[in-house]
């Protein structure tokens, strides 16, 4: 797992729990003890956007699940056989990239100044420089506030969308636009069963308390009441049974592989498919 932000931490914890709990009772010939989950971070600590204390608590929780955490370990190359980490070849059957992504290629057509990730440097009201009728929202925004870059999270998308709506209303009413101000409502990361970290204002939580906070926040973010009930039931069943519905295809009969190729070729307009 390359990248120890919230995505990398949550994926590493999930895979470690699948290895130790979910897969053990389902595959008799699979020795899960041989499986390794390695989380690699180029910086000095995991969860760099969180407080140092929260970061250390998350690392302890991951290590208790059997995750190998490597910091100060930049990945220079990903190959078919693994990854090169600080000049060392680490053999791996699967490499998952969670170290960040580039913005949509649409931003390159705007003629605006972009950052390294392809995000757009915007005006204070989120308008495109020189084009006040064009706005930029969500994780396409490249803006600093209080000396820190705005995070590409759902909170930013929601708040920037509401701000843009207010700017359009102001234009229609002949009022002046307001500056955009991002309000950090806290950060959470789920590590595993009864394991999570949370940072809300001056408050710091880890373990069961943070796990319950993560659960409540995600349930409240769902719009429909019925959806909340169904999700809560699914989570409760997964928690009590330790089942995640994980399935693996370990072998492909030749006929099944040939049939799949023919089906995809037909769907794809008759072009060859490999």
Can you list the domains of the chain with their CATH numbers?
Answer: 6-100+186-241 (3.50.50.100), 105-173 (3.50.50.60)
63 is catalytic: no
Record the tokens describing residue 8, joined without a space.
Answer: 């990398």
Cα 112–117–121 angle (5° rounding)? 35
C-alpha 128/C-alpha 121 separation (Å) is: 8
238: phi then psi, degrees, rounded to nearest 5: -65, -40
C-alpha 50/C-alpha 61 separation (Å) is: 15
For residue 135, the cross-strand partners are: 127
Of the residues 10, 17, 88, 108, only one is catalytic, namely 10
Task: Using the CB atoms, write b or e for 245-259: b if 16+ within 10 Å.
Answer: eeeeeeeeeeeeeee
**For all residues of the chain together, what is the average pLDDT?**
84
Residue whose C-alpha is closest to residue 41's, from 53, 49, 30, 29 = 49
pLDDT along the chain (274 residues), means of 10: 92 90 76 88 91 93 95 90 88 88 86 91 95 93 90 88 97 96 89 90 90 81 70 71 59 51 44 45
180-211 tens-digit pLDDT: 999 988 888 989 888 999 998 889 999 999 98
CA 145 to the chain's CA centroid: 22
């Amino acid at each position: 797992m390359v990248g120890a932000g919230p995505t990398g931490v949550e994926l590493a914890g999930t895979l470690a729990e699948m290895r130790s709990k979910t897969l053990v009772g389902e595959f008799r010939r699979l020795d899960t003890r041989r499986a390794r989950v390695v989380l690699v971070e180029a910086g000095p600590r995991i969860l760099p956007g969180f407080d140092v204390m929260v970061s250390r608590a998350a690392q302890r929780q991951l290590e208790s699940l059997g995750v190998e955490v490597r910091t100060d370990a930049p990945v220079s190359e990903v190959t078919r056989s693994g990854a090169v980490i600080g000049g060392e070849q680490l053999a791996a059957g699967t490499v998952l990239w969670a170290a960040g992504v580039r913005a949509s290629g649409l931003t390159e057509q705007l003629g605006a100044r972009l950052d390294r990730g392809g995000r757009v440097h915007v005006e204070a009201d989120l308008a495109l420089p020189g084009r006040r009728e064009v706005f930029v929202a969500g994780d396409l925004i490249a803006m600093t506030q209080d000396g820190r870059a705005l995070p590409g999270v759902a909170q930013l998308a929601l708040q920037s969308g509401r701000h843009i709506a207010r700017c359009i209303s102001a234009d229609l009413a002949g009022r002046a636009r307001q500056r955009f101000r991002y309000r950090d409502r806290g950060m959470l990361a789920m590590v595993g069963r009864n394991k999570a970290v949370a940072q809300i204002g001056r408050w710091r939580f880890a373990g069961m308390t943070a796990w319950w906070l993560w659960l409540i926040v995600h349930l409240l973010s769902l719009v429909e009441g019925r959806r909340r009930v169904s999700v809560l039931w699914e989570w409760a069943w997964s928690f009590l049974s330790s089942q995640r519905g994980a399935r693996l295809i370990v072998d492909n009969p030749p006929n099944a592989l040939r049939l799949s190729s023919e089906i995809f070729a037909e769907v794809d307009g008759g072009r060859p498919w490999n």
